[in-house]
Amino acid sequence: MTTQQGRHFLQIPGPSPVPERILRALSMQVIDHRGPEFGALGREVLAGCQTIFKTSGPVVIYPSSGTGAWEAAIVNTLSPGDKVLMVETGHFATLWRKMAGRWGLDVDFLAGDWRHGADPAAIEAKLAEDKPKSIKAVMVVHNETSTGVISRIAEIRKAIDKANHPALLMVDTISSLGSADYRHEEWGVDVTVSCSQKGLMLPPGLGFTAISDKALAASKTNKMPRSYWDWEEMLKPNANGFFPYTPATNLLYGLREAIKILLEEGLDTVFARHQHLAAATRAAVRAWGLEILCLEPAEYSPVLTAILMPQGHDADQFRALVLEKYNMSLGAGLTNLAGKVFRIGHLGECNELTLIGTLGGVEMGLAAAGVPHKAGGVLAAMQALGDLNTAVSQLAAE
């Protein structure tokens, strides 16, 4: 690749760019992870995570990817042979299903078209049919990173309650935490899974599980083997800010700074900003005459937008051209969507100027690649943005 001037535009839906404040925090010297200074750090980030997840219950932090947090959710609550209900919303829901199968779970996988979120009514119907209450958990991806579709978790909780079913509700917020409104405790979620490199604006390397009392009770009686992922072994030292094994100290420094950044802006303002940037992105896509993958406006993701390429044009070739000519990375289509879509991430440390630069690169790329489109997407986004501060204030107040 040729050397290019200017900063690289990393506009994939995670890992997201790391703010300078967090980079500086990450560069601090390692300290004794058994000493009092570390204990204070541990207590601070654990309490801060409760604020971000919106829960008064425990949040466990692992030195892992989000995949590790997926596994922790399974092995701490379920037993081999247990039946679970999962929903096919895209690539990552499919991966979580595969993991559940490897752990010997009996997975009822509700088929989906990768253009809609999880259907609360379909979940309610499945649970209503389960007269012996054999389904032990409902497992849903909140924001499907592969498709730009968000599922309505509060409505899914109501569907479970309406069916009067005791199943645990487990939710993957890997790409939504810190970018989209999420309320672990208020929405009655039992296990929330997440990670560090998206809305929290950190490098990869931390996995999280937020745990309800019901999930913690299940962990006392389930039969799945675990060691590294064991909540009980984590929660004992966590009470004093410590961990049962060597933690990722410098990532915890970064996490402390990330939490400060989010709370300084205010979570509701953060979420409103993401919604506003997403709406401007969709305005650009429509002006180009291209098609948004998500079909249901109520399920548009504030984190990313997935865009279908016109017939006869390869999304990966387009992405490669944009990277070579304009030094910008766009998200690839995954598995079923490979070569069919490209994804624009507008999460984390992203503002209106970053977005306009991103959309400018996309519009120039469409022209350079000979992709049929109309001009004016960037202008449409600028008009949609209007006065960002006013719009964000209005959205945050709603």
- The model's pLDDT over 349-376, given as tens digits with 9 standing for 90+, comes to 999 999 999 999 999 999 999 999 999 9
388 pLDDT higher than 60: no
Residues 57 and 144 in one domain: yes
Q: Using one digit for the tens of pLDDT, what is the confidence trace for 239-277?
A: 999 999 999 999 999 999 999 999 999 999 999 999 999
Residues 47 and 137 in one domain: yes
* Dist. CA 75–CA 181, nearest whole Å: 27
Banded model confidence at residue 5, pLDDT cuts 50, 70, 90: confident
Domain's final residue, options 233, 263, 293: 263
Share of the chain above pLDDT 70, in %: 96
Mean pLDDT computed over every residue of the chain: 96
Residues 66 and 118 in one domain: yes
- What is residue 299's three-state secondary structure? helix
Residues 152 and 191 in one domain: yes
Residue 8 domain-assigned?
A: no
Report the relative pairing of strands 83-87 and 106-110 from DSSP bridges.
Answer: parallel
Residue 137 domain-assigned?
A: yes
Residue 25 domain-assigned?
A: yes
Report the relative pairing of strands 328-332 and 341-345 from DSSP bridges.
Answer: antiparallel
Residues 97 and 245 in one domain: yes
Domain's final residue, options 263, 294, 323: 263
* Dist. CA 310–CA 322, nearest whole Å: 17
* Dist. CA 361–CA 284, nearest whole Å: 12
Q: Using one digit for the tens of pLDDT, what is the confidence trace for 48-78?
A: 999 999 999 999 999 999 999 999 999 999 9
Range of the domain at 78: 20-263
Q: Using one digit for the tens of pLDDT, what is the confidence trace for 27-53?
A: 999 999 999 999 999 999 999 999 999
343 in a known ligand binding site: yes
Residues 293 and 183 in one domain: no
Residues 151 and 211 in one domain: yes
Tell which residue, 172, 151, 156, 113, has the closest CA to residue 293: 113
CATH for 376:
3.90.1150.10
Residue 385 domain-assigned?
A: yes
Domain's final residue, options 245, 263, 281: 263
Structural domain count, the chain: 2
Residues 129 and 272 in one domain: no
pTM for this structure? 0.95
Tell which residue, 12, 2, 3, has the closest CA to residue 328: 12
Residues 82 and 198 in one domain: yes
Residue 143 domain-assigned?
A: yes
Residues 108 and 249 in one domain: yes
Banded model confidence at residue 178, pLDDT cuts 50, 70, 90: very high
Residue 383 domain-assigned?
A: yes
Residue 14 domain-assigned?
A: no
